[in-house]
Amino acid sequence: MALALAACSRDAASRPHCLVVVMSGVRADHTGPGGGPRATTPALDALAATGAWFGSAITVSASPISAHASIQTGLHPSEHNVTPDHPVMVAQLETLAEKLKSAGYTTAAFNTDAAMGRGNGFAQGFDTFEEILPDENGLPEGGAAAAEERFKSWLEARGGAAASSPFFAYVTLITPRLPFSPPAEYQNKFMDTVVAIQRQEKLAQLWIPFARQFTLGLAGLTEDERAVLTSLYDAEIAYTDYRLGRLIDLLRQHQLLDSTLVVVTSDTGEDLGQHGAYADTMNLHDSIVRVPLAVSLPGRIKAAERIAAQVQPTDLMKLILTVTAAPASAPPAEVSAATLMGSRPAAFAEARIDPAAMRTYQEAAPPGTDLSFLQRNLLMARTQDYKYVVTSQQNAALFDLKADPGETASVLASRPQVLSDLAGQLESWAGGLRPVAAAFPAAPDGAPPAQPQGKAAPGARTP
């Protein structure tokens, strides 16, 4: 028995560790591998060079909490039902942390997002669950430095490479979110537009009340002011990337980097006013749904791959479980990350009404303002060429992503065959959802019809 236990211990110790870092709010097109024009992500660039970069990673929800739940369960929001109107990870869900813990992994989370705490079920499967709570504890820069420090202490307490079990660590960094107020040394890193210093300071403090007023047309920004906000957003990405680099350096210092599967992604992107919104959690534009995704494990995942196929966060569990289940008896063969993730010719996403957001819209709006245009759920089917979006109000839009990457004009009326194909795929997908908690709806307001119906269809109002 002692020999058998020792053999099991050796097997567990030789399996790869896993570190998942979620850089909340980072758009793919504002990173180096994603073609961003600024040098915002040197650490992410270096990681992608040692592994794979997925150029068409499409999140499953406009809501960060829903997207995190999908990463952790492999399920779509209408299956796990962790949504803005039900922000709870119910016990019936089996999380990635639970699966890895059952497989002999030591599990830990270092979380800076107060919306995802122990109290609403996000600690499931974690031996260690560190809630940083930056606002409550007065921590600057979203608590990223505190998350790094606690990860470092945890690694040291484990004994580094000498630890007897492999680990799974999940780190959430929330810095690139409105307000865009990076640390002082990053404030002017990308500032190529000049405004008065007092105005720049005010722009760095703009928060939810402003965002709601902007969407409602009650507040505006000049082109220069929008450029300043974008520069501050990029600076926040750069700072978050700096912390990512330090997390990776900690693995290197403990002789763990070559034996750790590192996954870096985001929950959602960020609309920067292009569609009349900031801090938007209720739309499905590419500025929100296209997210970065890089994976690296030297000797197991091929280096310097650029993968164009669409993938979604729901596929990450499969990749991680496949890699961590590698037998210890012989070195596993190096494979393409595309093989591990698979592909999604059509990617699907949801956007639910966010009750908290609606309250802030109601507070910002003058009495009697019609907010019905916000009170709808959305479903999306996206290929590499087209995106179809339908609302619970039965309005719809179809975007030609090649000709109109900014999604400025619906071509729904002029592409009947594309519309029919994507609407059919969306209906089939929605009909196949299997919710874990039966008390919650299977899909926002039911599956969409194959053809938009009703007085406003087709596409009288673009979602």
Predicted local confidence at residue 206, as pLDDT: 93
Question: Residue 247: is its pLDDT beyond 80?
Answer: yes
Residue ranges in 110-188 assigned as alpha helix (H): 144-158
What residue spans define the domains of the chain?
11-345, 376-431
pLDDT band for 14, please (50, 70, 90 cuts): confident
pLDDT 10s digits, 180-239: 999 999 999 999 998 999 999 999 999 999 999 999 999 999 999 999 999 999 999 999
pLDDT 10s digits, 134-174: 777 667 788 999 999 999 999 999 987 778 899 999 999 99
Q: Kindly report the average pLDDT of the chain as a whole number.
A: 89
Q: Note the CATH number of domain 376-431.
A: 3.30.1120.10
Predicted local confidence at residue 268, as pLDDT: 97
Residues 132, 174: Cα–Cα separation, whole Å: 11
Residues of the chain above pLDDT 90, percent: 83
The pTM assigned to this predicted structure is 0.91
pLDDT 10s digits, 287-324: 999 999 999 999 999 999 999 999 999 999 999 999 99
Residues 422, 398: Cα–Cα separation, whole Å: 9
Question: Residue 328: is its pLDDT beyond 70?
Answer: no
Give the CB-side neighbour count of residue 386, counting CA atoms within 13 A. 20
Residues 300, 322: Cα–Cα separation, whole Å: 11
Question: Residue 329: is its pLDDT beyond 80?
Answer: no
DSSP three-state, residue 31: coil
Tell me: domain 11-345, CATH 3.30.450.40, correct?
Answer: no
Where is pLDDT greater, at 449 or 128? Answer: 128
Dihedral of CA atoms 327, 124, 380, 221 in degrees, nearest 10, equals: -120
pLDDT 10s digits, 35-72: 999 999 999 999 999 999 999 999 999 999 999 999 99
Please compute the mean of the pLDDT values over residues 378-406 and round it to a whole number.
Answer: 96
